[in-house]
Amino acid sequence: MGRELNLSESRIMRHPFPGPGLAVRIVGEVNKERVEMLQEADDIFLQEIHKAGLYNKISQAFAVLLPECRSVGVMGDGRSYESCCVLRAVETEDFMSADWCHLPYSLLSSASSRITNHVKGINRVVYDISSKPPATIEWE
């Protein structure tokens, strides 16, 4: 229908975005700092997906921030105790069921490295390989 209406391809292929916004992708208290962290991580993940030419092959992809799930890491010469970030990408025909995307390791590695090195407050990145059902696409 979008093509019949002459909408741009980027609008037609845009991934769904939750009605409540990014707040549903922050597990725990939502504040300005956490929203900014999530925006940065999500942007990096989507940049990597676009760079790999996979955006239009994925039904939905996004980052989730787990600010209350603290992780021990090493930054420079010291230990860090910071938040975890979950990356999620799914393929689906109808969003009633979905399977996780088998993204290339190189994409996941690059996204993880960029997020942990450029997003202050995140020191661990994990990839969600849960299908729907039993999981849902969004975390909240």
In the chain, what are the domain boundaries? 9-127
Q: How far is CA 50 from the centre of its chain?
A: 13
Q: How far apart are CA 140 and CA 132, in angstroms?
A: 14
Check whether 46 has a pLDDT greater than 80: yes
Average the pLDDT over 88-93 and give the result: 97
Q: Read off the pLDDT of residues 112-139 as tens digits, 9 standing for 90 and up.
A: 999 999 999 999 999 999 999 999 999 9
Q: Read off the pLDDT of residues 5-28 as tens digits, 9 standing for 90 and up.
A: 777 776 666 666 766 788 899 999
Tokens standing for residue 87:
């990356």
1 pLDDT band (50/70/90 cuts)? low
H or E element at residue 43: helix 32-51
* Residue given tokens 């019949």 in the structure block: 4
129 in Cβ contact with 86 (< 8 Å): no
Q: How far apart are CA 16 and CA 77, in angstroms?
A: 41
DSSP state of 27: -
* SS3 state of residue 65: strand
pTM for this model (two decimals): 0.89
Q: Calculate what percentage of the chain has a pLDDT beyond 70.
A: 91
CATH architecture under which domain 9-127 falls:
2-Layer Sandwich (3.30)
Q: What is the pLDDT of residue 105?
A: 98
Q: Pairing relation of β-strands 78-91 and 60-75?
A: antiparallel
Q: Calculate what percentage of the chain has a pLDDT beyond 90.
A: 78
Q: How far is CA 12 from the centre of its chain?
A: 20
